[in-house]
Structure 1
Amino acid sequence: MSHQLPDVQASSPDVAVGLSQVGVTGVQKLVKLAREEKRPIVLMAEFEVYVDLPSGRKGIDMSRNMETIDEILEEITREEAYRVEDVCGDAAEKLLAKHDYTTEAVVEMEADLITKEETPASGRQTQNTATIIASATATEDGTREEIGAEVTGMTVCPCSQGMSEARAREKLDELGVDEETTEEFLDAVPQPGHSQRGHATLTVTADGDPDVDLGDIIDIARDAMSARIYNMAKRPDEDHMTYQSHANAKFVEDCVRSLAEDTVEQFDHLADDAVIKMVQSNDESIHEHNAHAERELTMGQLREEVTGQD
């Protein structure tokens, strides 16, 4: 004789406190990213999936929920998708529909995107890696989707470079070099400054289809730092990166401001209520700590700050 097992999760908790996010993390699925007239890119994506839990319910039926999540993600990732944020959005909406006790479903995804490119000086084939960041939040009022990326580059500290320039001016003056020639030399030959590997993150969160190209996000983030870096580099490429970065020295704050300026220029069509998140973190080379700066605001606020217009 079989016994019906009790549904403990549906019972009332001892402490009637609701929870904003309950779910699972570390769910890995293959995602096929479609491309026009090309084979799709296959991503190994990792998902985090959450729903909210009302105060009168003890749990979310974790095993049953995981089965539902797995079925939804399998269905969503079976076909090719042009926008990874839509993968999250479709999954969040299906998850919300299957839970009568929840009012919000969140699906987050990260995956490494590897693209082919050429080195800047020698023109050799190499690859670049960016971490795709996508998510969606579904409620009865609609779905908001996020798309973005984290990339790696390099920065040079303007402060230490300024000290090097001062030392160079002093020495050139001792050697009898006139001021005009000194300035011409320093303009042509950027002086040393301590460099670091930097990590730039840019995401856009909006309703519906904001028409944001992931490739544009990656380009904006890579160009926000002092110089792009490359996985493979010959000597001319190393010289290019060294010169480029020292000719474009930036504080961590400057990188976020570059993200802001280029976002407004590239994505001026975005609605005012779209949310822009910009983060720069630098792995300092002469300190044990790291440098960090970030800003999160609406596109309307960002547009007003960057252009000075409403």
Structure 2
Amino acid sequence: MTVASQEINHLDDEPIEDVQGRPDPRRIPINQVGIRDIRHPVRIRERSGGDQHTVATFSMYVNLPHHFKGTHMSRFVEILNSHEREITVGSFRDMLHEMTQRLEADNGDIEMSFTYFIEKAAPATGVTSLMDYEVTFRGEQKGDSSDMYVNVQVPVTTLCPCSKKISRYGAHNQRSHVNITVRADEFFWLEELIELAESQASSELYGILKRPDEKVVTERAYENPKFVEDLVRDIAAKLNEDERFRRYVVVAENFESIHNHSAYAKIERDKDENPVY
């Protein structure tokens, strides 16, 4: 054995210092420290009874007290690897609590974004195809209390009421994105929020449309014109009727087909702070 090898073996026998745990003389706390944009496979429960396998992008943060030099980044990944099971709002909340405990933090945040697919049948021919929707789970813990939020982004069609009124032939329409964010106080299905957004648009979208389907969709949109303001108000009215959703944000953006800009509207409400309009 060489001298260099003997020195290495000697070092291997020595305890390894926890550098992150060193005291920090600057005495400045950090609001958020952690990892961003790590991808991990997850399973999401479907309303139909099955599980959907997808890949989610996670960001995970905790606060760091002033007396710690650094946090243990590897523990974030260990927590992800230990949750190789179906992700629900409940298990997501458990992951948030575990993260703050293992990192010895008072506050923590986890955000998980993934694509969710729903099989839909075309309105006339019944041909089936998959529609994709962007979903985000976000958990916030402050001390002993935590809040969970779910956001769905739903593409829809809107047709302009003004254009329909003033034009002799047709009316301009556009593809729109509806974002609904709700505080998850009680159980609900992702499909419920997606269907809510689609039901209040001029028309929902489909992956595949044959000619008879296209006729149905365009005529449906023509008979159901919506300004961007109508869209967010109609969705908000439905959320107001559902006591499961005590706090929500509804955002709609129309990617205008005859303007070089988007039309935008937003409604935000906390029913506990503002029970009556």
Is the pair's TM-score, using the shorter chain for normalization, greater than 0.5?
Answer: yes
Report the Cα offset of residue 118 of structure 1: 0.5
CA distance in 1, matches of 2:275, 2:39: 37
The corresponding residue for 1:293 is 265
Letter in structure 2 aligned against 1:194 = H
Report which stretch shifted further, 26-35 or 112-121: 26-35
Q: How does 1:41-80 map to 2 (within 5 A)?
A: 41-60=52-71, 64-65=72-73, 67-76=74-83, 78-80=84-86
Higher normalized helix content (fraction of residues): 1
Q: What is aligned with 1:34?
A: 45
Q: Which runs of 5+ in 2 are unaligned?
A: 1-9
The residue that corresponds to 2:6 in the other structure is none
Pick one of 235, 240, 250 that aligns with 1:264: 240
Q: Could you say which residue in structure 2 is the equivalent of 1:227?
A: 203
Instruction: Tell me the amino acid that sits aligned with residue 120 of structure 1.
Output: P
* 8 Å Cα contact 1:150-1:221 kept in structure 2: no
- Deviation, structure 1 residue 57: 4.1
Match of 1:89 in 2: 93
Q: 1:96 is paired with a residue of what secondary structure?
A: helix
The answer to whether residue 125 in structure 2 is matched with residue 122 in structure 1 is yes
Q: Is the 8 A contact 2:20 2:68 kept in 1?
A: no
* Separation in structure 1 between the aligned mates of residue 29 and residue 56 of structure 2, nearest angstrom: 30
Change (3 A) 1:24 1:237: same
Unaligned runs of 5+ in 1: 169-190, 306-310
In the alignment, the residues of structure 2 paired with residue 199 and residue 9 of structure 1 have an alpha-carbon distance, to the nearest angstrom, of 46
Kept in 1, the 8 Å contact 2:34–2:76? The answer is: no
Distance 2:193 2:47 in 1: 19
Question: For the residues of structure 1 that align with 2:49 and 2:184, how far apart are their CA atoms?
Answer: 28
How many angstroms apart in 1 are the aligned matches of 2:48 and 2:229? 40
Paired positions, count: 265
**1:24 matched to 2:35:** yes
What is the deviation of 1:11? 3.9
Residue 302 of structure 1: CA displacement?
6.6
Q: 1:157 aligns with which of 156, 160, 170?
A: 160
CA separation of 1:245/1:98 partners in 2, compared to 1, >3 Å: closer, same or farther? same
The amino acid that maps onto 2:98 is K
Give percent identity, aligned residues only.
Answer: 26
Structure 2: which amino acid aligns with 1:68?
R
Cα separation, 1, equivalents of 2:188 and 2:41: 23
Match of 2:5 in 1: none
Q: CA 1:117 to 1:70, structure 2 compared with 1: closer, same or farther past 3 Å?
A: same
Distance in 2 of aligned mates of 1:39 and 1:262: 27
**Partners of 1:154 and 1:225 within 8 A in 2:** yes
Q: 2:139 maps to what in 1?
A: 136
For residues 241-298 of structure 1, the C-alpha deviation after alignment (integer angstroms, 9 at most, x for no partner) is 1111121111111111111012123x2244xxx3211111111111221121112221
TM-score by length of 1: 0.78
Q: 1:8 to 1:133 in 2, by over 3 A?
A: closer
Residue 12, structure 1, aligned to residue 24, structure 2: yes
Tell me the alpha carbon deviations over residues 202-237 of structure 1, each in whole angstroms, 9 at most, x when there is no partner.
121144xx1222111110112232110111001111
Which amino acid in structure 2 is aligned with residue 136 of structure 1? Answer: G
